[in-house]
């Protein structure tokens, strides 16, 4: 068993290395003290924003609508940038001086303050994951096939499962999940590459639809 001067020397050696210590009533008199977690800069900004409006998180509500897509958005709640998707929250407490004020925030702030339970959080994460896959598929269509953004969105609408999947040999490939007629007439489900002919067919279909809508618009004038 260590004597008193040995325990004191152990404490001083820890203190000399910058380790905080606290007394213990068990085997050792002094032991390293667990560091107290500090708020991040973004958490401090969140609290400052709520305080600026003299409000609390419960005073704000998310409208549960799809976010607006931007290139370099900034979160009005924590200041994080850049944001690709901006969600809208509104101060809804009746009688509050700032009632009806709206802020554009990022997905992290939505998940921290405006989701009811773990089930809603899991659904939100799934939606976010699907949205990221859609953006990747759109960019791949625009770079690989040279289609416009509207045409790429039209193709994704026709192939909801379209996403960029990584092949260990051929790298990232644009594939969709669907039904395929295999050997012996058996129907099988799996991931298949989207064909160039299919992309060209959908682009022609999209352009014909645009021309038809434009002609209908001219007839109405």
For the entire predicted model, the pTM comes to 0.60
Check: CB of residue 115 under 8 Å from CB of residue 125. Answer: no
pLDDT band at 13 (very low <50, low <70, confident <90, very high): low
CA distances from 186 to 88, 106, 183, 195 (A): 48, 46, 6, 22
pLDDT over 90, % of the chain? 14
Check: CB of residue 192 under 8 Å from CB of residue 161. Answer: no
CA distances from 124 to 79, 117, 130 (A): 21, 11, 10
β 187-193/171-181 pair status: antiparallel
User: Angle between the 118-144 and 149-158 helix axes, to the nearest 10 degrees?
Assistant: 120
Distance, CA of 8 to chain centre: 51
pLDDT band at 5 (very low <50, low <70, confident <90, very high): very low
> What is the predicted pLDDT for the residue at 15?
52
Structure tokens at 31: 């032991």
CA distances from 148 to 90, 109, 140, 142 (A): 35, 32, 11, 6
Q: Among 28-42, 65-79, 85-99, 133-147, which is the least confidently predicted range?
A: 28-42
Asked whether the predicted pLDDT for residue 58 surpasses 70, the reply is: yes
Residue predicted with more confidence, 121 or 37:
121
> What is the predicted pLDDT for the residue at 183?
60
pLDDT in tens, 187-212: 778 888 888 888 888 888 888 887 77
> What is the predicted pLDDT for the residue at 166?
81
């Amino acid at each position: 068993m260590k004597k008193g001067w040995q325990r004191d020397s152990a404490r001083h050696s820890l203190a000399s290395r910058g380790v905080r210590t606290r007394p213990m009533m068990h085997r050792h008199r002094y032991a390293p003290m667990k560091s107290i977690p500090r708020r991040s800069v973004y958490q401090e900004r969140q609290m400052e924003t709520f305080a600026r409006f003299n409000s609390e998180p419960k005073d704000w509500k998310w409208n549960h609508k799809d976010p607006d897509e931007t290139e370099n958005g900034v979160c009005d709640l924590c200041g994080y940038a850049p944001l690709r998707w901006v969600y809208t929250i509104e101060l809804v407490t009746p009688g509050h001086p700032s009632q009806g004020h709206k802020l554009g925030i990022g997905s992290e702030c939505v998940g921290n303050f405006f989701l009811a339970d773990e089930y809603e959080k899991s659904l939100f994460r799934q939606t976010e994951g699907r949205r990221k896959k859609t953006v990747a598929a759109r960019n791949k269509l625009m770079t690989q096939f040279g289609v416009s953004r509207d045409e790429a969105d039209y193709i994704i609408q026709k192939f909801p499962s379209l996403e960029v999947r990584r092949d260990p040999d051929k790298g990232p490939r644009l594939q969709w999940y669907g039904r395929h007629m295999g050997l012996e007439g058996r129907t099988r489900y799996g991931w298949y590459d989207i064909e160039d002919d299919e992309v060209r067919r959908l682009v022609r279909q999209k352009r014909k639809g645009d021309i038809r809508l434009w002609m209908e618009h001219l007839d109405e004038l």
